Chains A and B, each alone.
Chain A
């Protein structure tokens, strides 16, 4: 039906028929890269507009209305404006590091998409270490934030960079541990295998076997993506804008892009590991293509993240740390122990 896999298979066959193997590898690698970049960019454009609309409607206003139907062109207009902006580099900045920080941030955000299954068979590379790879590669985000914070030569951005390092390292621990429960049940790290195991009715989804793990994951992931209530690295009211205070134009836009990409990443991981990935909640709904299910679930999760942001105040930095180490971490351990007992008993 509307599955996308056959299309890609056909393209692959076509390439194989006209090119030698080496070039097929190169072309398909760059091709998939371009497709992922394009798809994710479209998502980001949509998310920025959507977040503005969601927040506006939560706050009894309309949000963007002038650019196109209900302002749907607003993000593109903003992008054009950002492209035209003068690109300022502070005099005392460490230029090379300053230039590379947004690039690293951007690349790190995109690298996670190598092993996310967007639908049945729609995955760039189903790695054996799937989920571990994503956790590992997203740590580059924190490197970029530190680079940005340090290179800007601004005390506010330095504080922001330090905060983000402390926060992301702290939340990485409960985040990784919260996923171990699922891995224990699934007995694999491969994203595709995990999804395949959740086939059938929605009660096969791991969220019903790992509710605690899901809660810990979702909170920790919100913190990892620097979303409110855990957005202390950029805390506008305290640190002005944190690590990106000196950035302007497209460099700033890259950080912004990466933030929204990360939002999609954490949603995609949540959907893959806990909500059955591309599977429909009931077998008779299978006539709807798998990628629609996946994207739909992701959008729902992204909406919840936006909902958080526009509801809660921000926590304080020490409360954030205390929460990670004194509450989330023990909870994650409890989850692992409970899962162990569960596997042993059943």
Chain B
């Protein structure tokens, strides 16, 4: 049953991901992106990473894509307009994409994926929290500083003076 759910989710993710890049209406693309990210959250749940799934929905669906939609809605030139998907350089773009595809296929087939033998710790939140505050406290703080910088940067740009 888990496998069945996985295939359904994977199909949702792939199809919606394709639609994100192919749909002509940017608002529809954004909605498809939400569906895609929601599918990813489903995969996380299948992997018993429930905290990650909730955060995925909370931040990506509730935050990031909403802000994207918000931006689309206020820019009245974009809504309802059909967007051109192609530019004049299909050959170099195709080459790059092809090489990326080859790279991915090679790396996926050659990697030996390790399978954890012990059961995932429950509840996950406590373990993640402890890890963030002890072993990974430095990266955690660095990320906070980066976010703070982004915040201040946004304020500086948005300030009217």
Direct contact of A and B (CB under 8 A): yes
Bound: A37/B151 CA distance, A: 41
The A-contacting residues of B in range 1-18, CB under 8 angstroms, are 1
A99 at the interface (CB under 8 A from B): no
A181 at the interface (CB under 8 A from B): no
A59 at the interface (CB under 8 A from B): no
Among A140, A147, A150, A190, which residue has the most Cβ atoms of chain B within 10 A? A150
Task: Across the interface, name the chain B residue whose C-beta is closest to A140.
Answer: B61
Q: Using an 8 Å CB-CB cutoff, how does the interface string of B102-128 with A read, 1 for contact, 0 for none?
A: 000000000000000000001111100
Bound: A94/B72 CA distance, A: 15
B51, chain A: closest CB distance, angstroms? 6
Q: Contact between A143 and B51 (Cβ–Cβ < 8 Å)?
A: no
Task: Give the segment of A161-169, A245-253, A271-279, A331-339 that binds chain B.
Answer: A161-169
Q: Contact between B62 and A169 (Cβ–Cβ < 8 Å)?
A: yes
Bound: A188/B57 CA distance, A: 20
Complex interface: chain A residues within 8 A of B28 (CB): 94, 97
Q: Contact between B62 and A142 (Cβ–Cβ < 8 Å)?
A: yes
B70 at the interface (CB under 8 A from A): yes
Q: Contact between A169 and B63 (Cβ–Cβ < 8 Å)?
A: yes
Bound: A135/B28 CA distance, A: 25
Main secondary structure of the interface of B (DSSP, over half): helix
Complex interface: chain B residues within 8 A of A65 (CB): none
Task: Across the interface, name the chain B residue whose C-beta is closest to A139.
Answer: B62
Q: Contact between A146 and B66 (Cβ–Cβ < 8 Å)?
A: yes
Complex interface: chain B residues within 8 A of A128 (CB): 50-51, 122-125
Contact partner of A129 among B27, B34, B50, CB < 8 A?
Answer: B50
Bound: A191/B73 CA distance, A: 37
Q: Contact between A150 and B61 (Cβ–Cβ < 8 Å)?
A: no
Complex interface: chain A residues within 8 A of B144 (CB): none
Q: Contact between B66 and A169 (Cβ–Cβ < 8 Å)?
A: yes
Complex interface: chain B residues within 8 A of A139 (CB): 57-58, 61-63, 66
A97-B27, A190-B123 are known contacts; what are 8 more A-B pairs with Cβ within 8 Å? A128-B122, A132-B54, A139-B63, A140-B61, A142-B62, A143-B34, A150-B73, A172-B62
**24 A-B pairs with C-beta separation under 8 A:** A25-B1, A94-B28, A97-B27, A97-B28, A129-B50, A129-B51, A129-B125, A132-B54, A133-B50, A139-B62, A140-B61, A142-B62, A143-B61, A143-B65, A143-B66, A146-B69, A147-B31, A150-B27, A150-B69, A162-B70, A162-B74, A165-B66, A165-B69, A189-B123
